[in-house]
Amino acid sequence: MPSTSEIDRLSPRQREVLELLAKGLTNEDIAGVLGIATATVKAHMTALMNALDVTNRTEAVSLFLNLNNALGPAAVDVVMSRPAIAVLPLVPLDDGPRTRTVGLAVAHDLANLFSCWCWFPVIASAATDEARSLGSTQAIGRALGARFLVDGSLRMNGEAWRLLVRIDDAETGHTVWTDRYDFAASELFAVQDDVCQRVVASAYPVLMSRVQLGGPGRANEIAPWELAHQGMQLVARRESSAAITAADRLSRALETDPLLVLGHYGLGLSAYDDVLNQWTESGPARDRLIASASRCIEIAPHIAEGYFLQARWFQTRGEHARVVPVLETAIARNPSFAPGHALLAQALHLSGRSEEGLTRMRHALRLGPRAFVAGLALLHFMRCEYDLALENAETAASFSPHYTFARVLAAASAQHIGDRARALEHARRLATDYPPFRPGRMLATFGNEVDAVQRIGEALVSLGFEH
């Protein structure tokens, strides 16, 4: 029988895969959480089962739980003592059968995701199918034994979906969280997982706050990997306020588990966003970026994340010639690492290999249909394809309305094609969302000698920004 020391000898990535597997995630779920291909998850699974001398997933999970006492009777009792969550079927607001089907699917996915986060018990979906007939919010909560009810509606309007989600506190009858998501009908399968993850990541801290699980002095009650994933979801929102909370979540995760690669990687991404969007002073942010890169490489030199952060650091120093070989190292370690392909696309263009860069960007978009739209916009801008740059920058801004760099690209692209009204509108939104933004800081950070950076700066100055 393997021992705890054999679990400890698993690589950091293998342990991440095993921990997520133990929480009930499928290979596809694990791939989405870790940002890797499903085939890569399967390879890690094979390696860790060989290392543990087990023959199947069930044995691996059983061994892990027994050795780590992760879900022993006492731990289960703690979880079951907490207020429960119930996800109600979404209300279809049109007569189309597809809307009802999609609504049920989204509700099912939300219930699964809430279950995977583990800190509240989640009522099985089958129990909630007829819940609305029970009457008021309080009555539904009492009947289901749930404190929090996840509810909402779905509407198909022309070629677009509109999803409204809210969470009600069944004890008070009050709504404690709500949000709205709009996406094109053609993007349903590309964005459904992302939308569900954003709902859970945004709502979970609110629910914990309601029951005072997230109060001062109790941060360690939340597992480090959960804190890290909360942080990563907040980083993905591309907003300065979310970035502050993200850094706090990631730092708290690392206080408990200093070897958690995802935590260091998330802090590195957050530091780069601080530099790119001018949310903080660039010098300290660059220091945090390279510190995160170095820590990732030290802990897990066999994976891509640390090398990607190192390439970002070179980029912020204007050392563009050093970016390509570092990214090639990252992608050699993980061919499915989409951020590496997206950044390599830009670096290849600057190296005179523009067509190869477009191919890399297509790889990134295939691996992450929504995540790299801003990167594609920048690549088109670099190629002076301003119409395409504007289209993609506006798409990125529609996903994240407060994403500073998306507004920068949209304003500059519109100015270069002569659509001054559109350029001024994006410039106004940029100035409103983040008044301290200055083109001069961008030029100093990313290199006055880079033609595309100069063109962005010139466009913004002509739109009234102080140099």
pLDDT in tens, 346-381: 899 888 898 888 888 888 877 766 677 888 898 899
Most confidently predicted of 9-23, 120-134, 314-328: 314-328
Q: What is the 3-state secondary structure (H, E, C) of 48-77?
A: HHHHHCCCCHHHHHHHHHHHHCCCCHHHHH
- Mean pLDDT to the nearest integer, 384-389: 94
Q: Which fold has domain 4-79?
A: Arc Repressor Mutant, subunit A (1.10.10)
Q: Residue 72: its pLDDT value, please?
A: 47
In CATH, the architecture of 278-462 is Alpha Horseshoe (1.25)
Give CA–CA dist 71/419, Å, rounded: 59
Residue 242 pLDDT greater than 90, yes or no:
no
Three-class DSSP category at 447: coil
Task: State mean pLDDT over 221-225.
Answer: 61
For residue 154, list its beta bridge partners.
Answer: 92, 163
Encoded tokens for 85: 């969550």
Please, which residues have CB within 8 angstroms of residue 121's CB and are 6 or more apart in sequence? 79, 80, 82, 84, 85
pLDDT at 424 over 70: yes
Domain extents in the chain: 4-79, 83-210, 278-462
Asked if 123 and 147 touch (Cβ cutoff 8 Å), the reply is: no
Q: Which helix (H) or strand (E) holds 151?
A: strand 148-157
What does the pLDDT read at residue 188? Answer: 67
Q: What region, left, alpha or beta, does residue 63 occupy, with left being phi > 0 and alpha being psi -120 to 50 degrees?
A: alpha
Task: Give the integer Cα–Cα distance in Å for 433 and 435.
Answer: 6
Neighbouring CB atoms inside 10 A of 90's CB total: 24
The whole-number pLDDT of residue 215 equals 35
Confidence of residue 130 (pLDDT cuts 50, 70, 90): confident
8-state DSSP, 122: B
| pLDDT band at 67; cut points 50, 70, 90 | low
H helices of 334-419, where? 338-350, 354-367, 373-382, 386-399, 404-416
Determine phi and psi for 201, rounding to 5 degrees: -65, -35
Higher-scoring residue by pLDDT: 71, 385:
385
Chain centre distance of CA 322: 27
* CATH fold of the domain at 83-210: Rossmann fold (3.40.50)
What is the chain's mean pLDDT, rounded? 81
- How much of the chain exceeds pLDDT 90, in percent? 22
